[in-house]
Structure 1
Amino acid sequence: MTEPATPAHDLIGDFAPKLAALTDDVLFGDVWARPALRPRDRSLITCAALVVNGNVEQLRHHLTLAIANGVTAAVITEVITHLAFYAGWPRAMSAIAVAREVTAGRDR
């Protein structure tokens, strides 16, 4: 019986199988599973880091995960607004556009 493909394997497994495996086994299998932080907190930290670094290509996935981990659209918007003063306006504007798409139709 084969295990279902993970998002990392779907995205890059055919091209970079070791990176996909590390993503699954170390990042999500170990780091994200550590009990000192709740998944909601890890999601907020990760999304903030992605906004600050301008990594909007990864933000879509992590915003979706954040919502699954209990972060509301209103909180996402507030985090990005707050970060505009620390990360820069262009990064916040790019991030808010992604957040708008990901949270469309969700309660604010």
Structure 2
Amino acid sequence: MVQKSPLDDPEQAAFAWARYRRIMRFMFLLTVGVVAIALALLYKYGHEEISIHYYIASALGIGFTMLLTSALMGLVFLSSGTGHDESIEDRLRDDD
């Protein structure tokens, strides 16, 4: 029998998603800071003939990588922290 997920309760789900949004806001601000520092270092130690496209590609690459990683890890924390992972039926587990 499939157990009921804690995320089925609207109050717990609202709390969990609010926490997820708070984590994502923090990670967005951290990402903006890291991108700014990286671009400043690239500008300071780079050669003068570097194209603007290099800076744009670097900013987008760093930004998208950090945001995608934080979004996926945030979903892992959401699933684990709410008990949603324990509500699945594990048919492969041996109950001896």
How does the TM-score come out when normalised to structure 1? 0.24
Q: Which has the larger radius of gyration?
A: 2
How does the TM-score come out when normalised to structure 2? 0.26
Q: Considering Cα pairs closer than 8 Å and 6+ residues apart, tell me whether 1 or 2 has the greater RCO.
A: 2
